[in-house]
Amino acid sequence: MARYFTDEHEWIDVEGDTATVGITDYAQGQLGDIVFVELPDVGSVIDKGKDAAVVESVKAASDVYAPISGEIMETNDALEDDPALVNTSPEENGWFFKMTIGDKSQFDGLMDEAAYKTFCDGL
Amino acid sequence: MSDETEDTIAEIETLPLDAWHRRKGARMVPFAGYDMPIQYEGIVVEHNWTRQQAGLFDVSHMGQLMVTGDKAAEELEKLLPGAIASLKPGKVRYSLLVNEDGGILDDLMVTNATPWIEGDEEAGTEGHWGDPAYYLVVNGAMKWDDIAHLREHLDDDVTLTHMDEHALIALQGPNAATALNRVMRNVIDDMVFMESVCHDFGEWPLRITRAGYTGEDGFEISVPAEFAESLADRLCAEIEVRPIGLGARDSLRLEAGLPLYGHDITTETDPVSADLGFALSKKRREQGGWMGHDKVMQVLESGPLQKRVGLAIEGRMPAREGAPIFSGDTQVGRITSGGFSPTLERPIAMGYVDTALAQEGTELEVEVRNKRLPAKVAPLPFVPHRYHRGK
């Protein structure tokens, strides 16, 4: 299983034809206490770079963009009852949605863990 | 709070406690022209700490002004709709600067700061009140406009001093008095909400006012900038006290139903629509003589078109500033502040709605990202005030 990172602080786990998407620990730290996550509808098709989810912290709402194009297969129901999972377990239990991978070339140019760490260190 | 950063002027200044905040691990953001701490540990933790213990807030961005002179009260009454002349020394009043059109230029606290001059037996003088002085605390983002407005309209016999070499530290929470009492004994014992005293704490000349912006008991302490760090350290050495950022300050004041200038009140809103009628004292409504009186009285008589209300929003999705409010298909208002209440663990908001729909319990809807959220007009404050009003 490969994990990619975007410069918008999302992580993408690729397993076969499915990508699981969430936001990184760095992102949750920047957002602060998350009180609500608005997830996309299952079955909706979202283009890379378009709004896919909204994360509401106490102070503001932030958009989460689709890191690749594809169809939403499943969303994380656990976030409905416990949005703070994004704070406590951003890169595991606090995942946002699973989507199909239209075209694998979409991963070109995304970062691996080491590159993402270097990217964050430079911020 | 996110949009405040857009208002900032190009030059961001630093406040006396800047380095202190950074040492405490604050995340600093530009606010009202200054680098300010938005949070330290996290907004929810800080919010809850203030509700349960005591929080220290640096509010040095706010404008501290002193208006002095024999005609100070009389002159201030030309610009403020509150009774200033009858405000006794050591007492504090919430007031408003109102423009010619009845719009709100700013909200502020006025303290009668007239000093008591001790008698001197040798010189044969008796104790007496010194020159009339009024201490004003105005919003940070508005202070330059306020100063210009006051300078333009106050008589030349009155002196306006911008106390820009003073920091302002708020200590807020149910244990604020306990902590402050341990640091300086017998200073605040007899004080109740909306009272103010001067106290020399060693070589630090302080002004301590029992008031705040959280709905809790607490104090605002004006201190010369050079002693601000030492005072913050002294207070934070108490077990009850932790530094709290602007993020929690905003969520605390929203729960307390307190309006934020530039959002819930602006030049587009008048004191009546803003439900701040208590700031218009009865006598001064009748007598007039203050800027905007005619316009405000017209609104009082005809009734406001819209009114500021609290809104309890169903579900967990917060509705924020700017969100339209609907009754059926008709837009009937707009949210002016909204967010998630850490105390109530649900979204709350303030906004303006048509007066006919302003009664408590009225069922409305708020639109967020094309979704309609059920909302009910709720009494303010959302979380009860716990001011120390004495017996």
Condensed to tens digits (0 to 9), the pLDDT of residues B136-182 reads: 999 999 999 999 999 999 999 999 999 999 999 999 999 999 999 99
Strand order, beta sheet including B133-138: B92-98, B104-112, B133-138, B63-68, B159-162
Quote ipTM for the complex.
0.87
* Residues of chain A contacting B, Cβ within 8 Å: 32-33, 35-36, 38, 54, 56-61, 83
Task: Give the Å distances, CA to CA, from A78 to A64, B103, B226.
Answer: 18, 47, 51
Whether residue A60 and residue B316 make contact (CB cut-off 8 A), yes or no, is no
pLDDT tens for B294-346 read 999 999 999 999 999 999 999 999 999 999 999 999 999 999 999 999 999 99
Which among A33, A36, A54 has CB closest to B316? A36
Taking CA–CA distances from A55, the nearest residue in chain B reads B317
Which has the higher per-residue pLDDT, B4 or A17?
Answer: A17
Mean pLDDT, residues A90-110: 92
Look at residue A82 in the predicted model and tell me its pLDDT.
94
Residues of B (138-157) whose Cβ lies below 8 Å from A: none
- Which pLDDT does position B10 carry in this prediction? 62
Q: Which residue of A has its CA nearest to B343?
A: A58
pLDDT at site A102: 81
- Ranges of beta strands (E only) in B248-362 are 306-313, 324-327, 330-341, 346-354
What band does A104 get if pLDDT is binned at 50, 70 and 90? confident
> Rounded to 5 degrees, what are φ and ψ at B184?
-135, 110
pLDDT of residue B227 exceeding 90: yes
Q: How many CB atoms lie within 10 A of CB B199?
A: 14
Mean pLDDT in residue range B257-273: 98
The Cα of B85 is separated from the nearest Cα of chain A by a number of Å equal to 40
Report the C-alpha gap between B137 and B106 in whole angstroms: 10
* Alpha helix stretches (DSSP H) within B237-353: 246-255, 282-287, 293-302
**At CB < 8 A and 24+ separation, what contacts does B344-348 make?**
B344/B255, B344/B382, B344/B383, B346/B312, B346/B313, B346/B315, B346/B316, B347/A36, B347/B313, B347/B315, B347/B316, B347/B317, B347/B318, B347/B319, B348/B254, B348/B255, B348/B310, B348/B311, B348/B312, B348/B313, B348/B378, B348/B382
pLDDT at A123: 86
* Predicted pLDDT at B4: 46
Residue A114 amino acid letter: A
d(CA B199, CA B203): 10
Q: Are strands A18-23 and B54-58 parallel, antiparallel or unpaired?
A: unpaired
Q: B56-77: per-residue pLDDT in tens? A: 999 999 999 999 999 999 999 9
pLDDT at B1: 39
Nearest to B96 by CA among B334, B300, B291: B291
Cross-chain Cβ contact A33/B38 below 8 Å: no
- In B, minimum Cα distance to A59 occurs at B1
* Number of other CB atoms surrounding residue B71 within 10 Å: 14
Looking up tokens 């707009």 gives B334
Chains A, B: CB contacts within 8 A come to: 47
Output the pLDDT for position B3. Answer: 45
Arithmetic mean of pLDDT, B199-218: 97
- Nearest C-alpha neighbor of B109 from the set B88, B84, B92: B92
Query: What are the helix (H) ranges across B112-244?
Result: 143-153, 176-183, 225-236
B320 touches chain A (CB under 8 A): yes
Quick check: B12 pLDDT over 50? Answer: yes
Q: Is B316 on the interface with A (CB under 8 A)?
A: yes
Mean pLDDT, range B251-261, rounded to an integer: 98
- In this prediction, residue A103 has a pLDDT band, given cuts at 50, 70 and 90, of confident
Token digits of residue B205:
């000349």
Count each helix (H run) and each strand (E run) in chain B, helices first. 10, 21
Q: What is the pLDDT of residues A64-96, one digit of tens each?
A: 999 999 999 999 999 999 999 999 999 999 999
Q: Which residues of A touch B247 (CB under 8 A)?
A: 32, 58-59
Contact predicate B187/B196, CB 8 Å: no
Closest to B305 measured CA to CA, from B265, B257, B270: B270
Which one of B320, B340, B345 makes the best mutation probe of the A interface by having the most chain A beta carbons within 10 Å? B340
- Mean pLDDT in residue range B277-303: 96
Residue B191 has pLDDT above 50, yes or no: yes
Tokens of B39: 């949070």
Q: For chain B, give the percent of residues with pLDDT over 70.
A: 97
B1 in reach of chain A (CB within 8 A): yes
CA B179 to chain centre: 22
Compare CB distances from A32 to B39, B318, B347 and report the shortest one's residue: B39
Mean pLDDT of B103-118: 97
Question: CB of B311 within 8 A of CB of B364?
Answer: yes
B200 C-beta neighbours (distance < 10 Å), count: 8
Residue B186 to chain A, least CA–CA distance (Å): 38
**Which domains are delineated in chain A?**
1-103 (2.40.50.100)
- Mean pLDDT across chain B: 95
Q: Smallest Cβ distance to A33: which of B43, B316, B320?
A: B43
Mean pLDDT of chain A: 94
Q: Please say if the pLDDT value at position B32 is more than 50.
A: yes
Q: Which is nearest to B390 in space by CA: B257, B192, B151?
A: B192
Please answer yes or no on whether B339 and A32 come within 8 Å at the CB atom: no
